[in-house]
Amino acid sequence: MKTRTLFKLALVAVLACGGLTAQAQATKIRFAHAGPETASQHVAALEFARLVKERSKGQLEVQVYPSSQLGNDSTTLGAVRGGTIDMMMAGSGNFSGLVSKYEVLDIPFLFRSPAHAYSTVDGDIGQGLTKELETHGLKQLAFWEVGFRSITTKNRPVRTPDDVKGLKIRTMPNPIHIQAWKLLGSNPLPMPLGELYQALESGAVDAQEHPVDITYAAKFYEVQKYLTMTRHAFTAMPVVFSKQKFDALKPELQKVLLESANDAKLFQRASNQRNEAGIIADLRKNGMTVLETYDATPFKAIVGDTVRKAYVTKNGPELLAAVDAVK
């Protein structure tokens, strides 16, 4: 009996040690982004982490770092390319410095609807852009979204192009967006998202433009009075992995990452569409004046052709024509 008991205790110890060893061998993946913890991109990142852990049976563990905890978009992008951070996501404009064709996704008033945008980034056009990032040390897992951008202001609502003139507006370090806001007569100021609230509060900038999800999550309603649902541009959000680290994973784990990123993409899109009306209502409750309709025609007349021609001059007409042709 004593021998049998000792054997059982030894077996339990071996199993326990084995479990600890398996746990210690789980590959930790650091996933950085600039969005607030309540933004849909962070919620989607947590869903991605859950799916990866479940589907890899604990072999992969994703640790999500929101709110620029590991640095702003530019810093984390460089770190992922260098392999010191495993993965990150950011608006597509952050990648145009590596692949200038990415600028096509940021052309104002390009996409007719969310369906048009999704068909573009999920189809051959998106896959072609994704492939080009691999030469820059990045493996793109999926296109998530920042979403359709709308403008907020502090002192006056935006109804016509004249209402934009003279505004100091925060924008991404994105040549397409900078050119568009200059054409409208405003003063675009590139700035990381993590610095924006303070800049709005101090008056260093007058206005900003984000999807309502981020405007709400970042509490910009505390320092901005007016929101016009301009939906003037769609921003895709590439989710990228260090290519060197991705290639070092077993094929079955690579598949887990790709499938989980795709499922989290669909999760985020559905969440954004489901929650938008409620977010707008909450913004109103928090004191914002929300204009849900406006006439986009005069804005398009000032911005549209000039920005499109600039893109074609730089990158050729083929990709832009292909986007226009997407059903």
pTM of the model: 0.90
Q: Is 173 exposed, middle or buried (0-12, 13-18, 19+ CB in 10 A)?
A: middle
| Confidence at residue 138, expressed as pLDDT on a 0 to 100 scale | 98
CATH number at 272 reads 3.40.190.170
Q: CA torsion sign, 128 to 130 to 133 to 138?
A: negative
From CA 64, how far away is CA 46, in angstroms rounded?
7
- Pair of tokens at residue 112: 């007719």
Work out how many domains the chain is built from and give that number: 1
Helices assigned H by DSSP within 193-292: 196-202, 212-217, 243-248, 251-285
Which residue in 29, 135, 134, 44 sits closest to 87, CA to CA? 29
Which residue bears the tokens 């989710």? 239
pLDDT tens readout for residues 270-327: 999 999 999 999 999 999 999 999 999 999 999 999 999 999 999 999 999 999 999 9
From CA 321, how far away is CA 125, in angstroms rounded?
11
The domain in which residue 314 lies consists of 2-325
Which residue in 218, 216, 200, 211 sits closest to 233, CA to CA? 211
| Confidence at residue 135, expressed as pLDDT on a 0 to 100 scale | 95
* Cα maximum dimension of the chain: 91
pLDDT tens readout for residues 84-123: 999 999 999 999 999 999 999 999 999 999 999 999 999 9
Which residue in 158, 162, 160 sits closest to 208, CA to CA? 158
| Confidence at residue 24, expressed as pLDDT on a 0 to 100 scale | 52
Q: CA torsion sign, 32 to 64 to 197 to 240?
A: positive
The radius of gyration of the chain's CA atoms, rounded to the nearest angstrom, is 23
